[in-house]
Amino acid sequence: MKIVLFGLLFISQIVISQNYNVPKNELVLKKDGYFYAYNQGRKVCNWIGYTITNADVGGSASPLILFHKDDSIVNCASPSDYVGYSYAMGRLKPRSAARNSASEMNAVHNMLNVAPMNMALKKGAWRILDNMIAGWAVTFDSVFVITGPIYDLSEPKMIGDGRVNVPDKFFKVVLVRNGLDLGAIGFIIPNSNKANNLQQYSMSIDSVEKYVGYNFFADLPEYLEGFIEEAVNTDLWKDQSISFKLKSSYKRNRQCIAADNTDERCTTQTDCITQNCWKHGCDLKK
C-alpha cells in the first residue's frame, strides 16, 4: 500500500527539546511511557501522549495478554465492561511503541490506555497507522504522538456496568523530528468498519485542532508552529527529505517492526528503510 502523507520542513536551527506530548494548558498525569488526562465521566482518557523512537519499536519486551484496571483511578473502566459487546479494547498507545521496556509494556495494558474501538478499525486502519508511525520512528530521530477519542453525539453509546462511553471517532496527531527536519500530520478516523483509507482521513494539525479544541505542539517556536500546523505537504516526504536520504544509506536486514492483525510482531525479515516488510507497507525501500 503506497501512502505518501507528509513532508518534512527544513528549518534553519535545531529545535530545543520540549514536551510535545501534552496539549497546551491541559492538566496532565503520567504513567510509564505516556502522559494522559482521564475523563472520569466517560471512563476513557481524553488524550494520551507519548514519544516513540527506534529503540522502542525494536525492543524485545514481551507483550502481556491481559489488561488490568488502574486502582489509582476511582472510576477506571474494567476489562469486564467490554465482555459481551461488539467493541474491542483498542489501545491508544500501541504495544509496538513499548517494546523496549517491561514497565512501559505493562502501562500499555493499563485500562487507562483503552477505549471502545470497532473491531475492524482496530485490526485494520488503526493498526496500519500505528505500523506507519513505527516505521517513521525507525527512519527519524523521534516521533511525538498525541491521540484520543472524539464524541460527536451528545448521548454516546455506552458499554458495561461502568457505562464506558464509545467514541464516534479517534484523532491522532504526529510530529516527526530528525536534526534539522521537522514535519507533522493529523488524522481523524471514524470508529467504524468503514474506516479503511488513511489518506482520506489525513489532514493538517490545524484542522484537527479546530475539530477537537486542543492546541498541539505549542512548545514549538511560534514561527515554526505555523509552518508545521497549517498544511500537509505531500511532495517532500521521500524525494527531498534530508533525513530519509541519510537513513537510506544504513539499510540492513532486520525483523519487521510491524504488528500483524493478531497484534503480534511480524517475524518476517526486511531491509526496508522503515523496517516494515513487504506485507506491511514497505513502499519506501528505494
Could you tell me if 79 and 116 are in contact, meaning their C-beta atoms sit under 8 angstroms apart?
no
Cα separation, 285 vs 275, in Å, equals 9
> Which pLDDT value is given to residue 3?
45
Backbone angles phi, psi at 145, to 5 degrees: -130, 135
Instruction: Kindly give the interhelix angle for 222-229 and 205-212, rounded to the nearest 10 degrees.
Output: 90
Residue showing cell 491522532: 172
Backbone angles phi, psi at 122, to 5 degrees: -60, -45
227 conformational bin, left if phi > 0, alpha if psi -120 to 50, beta if neither: alpha
Cα separation, 76 vs 38, in Å, equals 9
Can you list the residues of the chain whose pLDDT is less than 70? 1-18, 180, 222-253, 273, 278, 281-286
Q: What is the domain partition of the chain in residue ranges?
A: 9-280
> Which pLDDT value is given to residue 113?
97
Cα separation, 146 vs 185, in Å, equals 11
22-54 confidence digits (pLDDT tens): 999 988 999 999 999 999 999 999 999 999 998
Could you tell me if 44 and 150 are in contact, meaning their C-beta atoms sit under 8 angstroms apart?
no
Nearest to 66 by CA among 121, 106, 126, 116: 106
Could you tell me if 227 and 203 are in contact, meaning their C-beta atoms sit under 8 angstroms apart?
no
> Which pLDDT value is given to residue 276?
73
Cα separation, 31 vs 123, in Å, equals 25
> Which pLDDT value is given to residue 273?
66
> Which pLDDT value is given to residue 57?
87
> Which pLDDT value is given to residue 119?
93
- Can you identify the CATH homologous superfamily of domain 9-280? Extracellular Endonuclease, subunit A (3.40.570.10)
Task: Record the pTM.
Answer: 0.83
| Chain centre distance of CA 40 | 23
